[in-house]
Structure 1
């Protein structure tokens, strides 16, 4: 069968929905999940994120609390909402908490998943003459500032003997970066899945390098300390995290089913969703928020401090809470293959 290609014009609205890790964007609110009891847990989510996977895995049944969902287009504003106590808990990538910590935000990392970084990639157009990361010197690269892709770019350049000063970094959110990439206005694009799968499946580019073996592959749930100090909300957060962990296990065994749900929820073509699930989404393993995790995130913080993108040294250990670790494997546990 001939693969259905998605034209660039059709990709742009999707990019507005899926800015999963970077940028300054607002939230949409008003949706809720019914439950029992007087406690309402305010949860920050992203399109096709926690609510979708919990619903797909049938993990939103028999709740003893209610959930009010706020859907954000990116990690940084979600953490701004956590800091403002408008959100009790929400999911982000490995870099937004570092920038939030650098800004002195009142946040606590309470849960983590370790996955592959194969979906975090530096992409180049099909006709590009670039074949290796060290050839990026002097080239223009689009990336969302403060996103997981931002650190992946920094780490990939370092591995190639380069620094951000050796390239022309263009801070663009995914909608603008996608347009710039497909129109040839930038030489490369540092981004994450499902954008990586979107470009590859529509034959609009290829991978120059990935974050596999370079970045830590961590994603987080981050909570407001005020919610953690509330006995009822703290108990609700524990139950919520347990459900998320079970839902992720469900994804591993039901990749096709999850891809169908994800495609419907986000507007992704099914083939793109399935490629992203197989490349990145199904590999995640719930792990403990532990000392190796802190050390790994501290390296990210220190890298951005050296680049003067974070104004002062961050002590990342001050921004974690280990109360929900019980029985989880260490953060160094390999992702599923």
Structure 2
């Protein structure tokens, strides 16, 4: 695939909420939204927090200012949180595991939960591979440290395979798309909107999804320093409530959000709408409760056992539950995230 076709594959909202792996750069812009002496530094991605908050009207009447820093993936966003260059940002279920495993100064303060139908292992439409077990000995593209990475590990385990039974190709989405399109890999572990993109192309089919395999969680992650600052902590609490309402707006207006998202990211509207229906329109705020923590602990233990993170650690030590109290009763109710795979 020629390079000029790749800008349409920019990372939108819940790539920051669902996956994200690899190196990235960031751009920064001061926002004129709000007033007051407190400035909240928010790590974002293209078509992410700023877009959804603005589209839903949730950037109105702020009593603090926002400085947006835009990243193309989750791990470098968390590097910025660790460096205190960013106060808070949203990522998927796996970047916090890799960050905490490397002793980063991060705190999980909020969570969302949604369908994992958009997290898939895809194969070319004419591939002879019909089951996950038939991936043995074959090459698979995946972004290291992403939720797709964990979904692949868990899916292989369910099929009786380990990562040593396949040939992993650690590639970021643009490079993985090129490799997949040229037949350089046999399969691709990916997430929406890439799932929607390749299915719309008619050149791929889904071998298996993350449903029942991964927990479907995404997280808001803050810096300890920001949480110790009274003004910033108050602003973070307000932001969390606004994000809850914004996600509720997406749930009620999927077509309108897909239109905004397509414009922000350069995705075709049909692809954006498919991804919203399959993945992002399903997300709801949830409590960072013992079930969520236990599910993340299983991911951390899995990567530690595989020696893909440098140490074992207790995920609970990186969680602050103070903002659970601001959740609607239905969102704060206990949930189950399925049997942990470890």
Q: Please, what TM-score do these two structures have when normalized by structure 1? A: 0.94
Who is 2:45 aligned against?
Answer: 46
Who is 1:332 aligned against?
Answer: 335
Alignment of 1:175-190 (within 5 A): 175-190=174-189
Who is 2:340 aligned against?
Answer: none
1:10-31 Cα distance to aligned partner (Å, 9 max, x none): 5422335557511111111124
Unaligned runs of 5+ in 1: 1-6
Is 1:290 the equivalent of 2:289?
yes
- Tell me if structure 2 keeps the 8 A contact 1:16–1:174: no
Who is 1:3 aligned against?
Answer: none
Who is 2:163 aligned against?
Answer: 164
1:111-136 Cα distance to aligned partner (Å, 9 max, x none): 00010100000011111111111100
Who is 1:191 aligned against?
Answer: 190
Who is 1:4 aligned against?
Answer: none
Residue 285 (structure 1) shift? 1.2
Alignment of 1:6-21 (within 5 A): 11-15=5-9, 17=11, 20=16, 21=20
Alignment of 1:47-196 (within 5 A): 47-196=46-195
- Tell me if structure 2 keeps the 8 A contact 1:193–1:280: yes
Alignment of 1:254-293 (within 5 A): 254-293=253-292
Residue 331 (structure 1) shift? 5.8
Who is 2:302 aligned against?
Answer: 303
1:28-54 Cα distance to aligned partner (Å, 9 max, x none): 112424211011000000111111111
- Tell me if structure 1 keeps the 8 A contact 2:38–2:65: yes
Counterparts of 2:282 and 2:33 in 1: how far apart (Å)? 30
Residue 204 (structure 1) shift? 2.2
Counterparts of 2:309 and 2:89 in 1: how far apart (Å)? 22
**What is the number of equivalent residue pairs in this alignment?**
329
- Tell me if structure 1 keeps the 8 A contact 2:9–2:267: no
- Tell me if structure 1 keeps the 8 A contact 2:10–2:46: no
1:71-124 Cα distance to aligned partner (Å, 9 max, x none): 100000000000000000000000000000000000000000010100000011
Q: Structure 1 residues 25, 289: CA separation in 2 closer, same or farther (over 3 Å shift)?
A: same
Q: Structure 1 residues 8, 284: CA separation in 2 closer, same or farther (over 3 Å shift)?
A: farther
Q: Please, what TM-score do these two structures have when normalized by structure 2? A: 0.93
Q: Structure 1 residues 133, 11: CA separation in 2 closer, same or farther (over 3 Å shift)?
A: farther
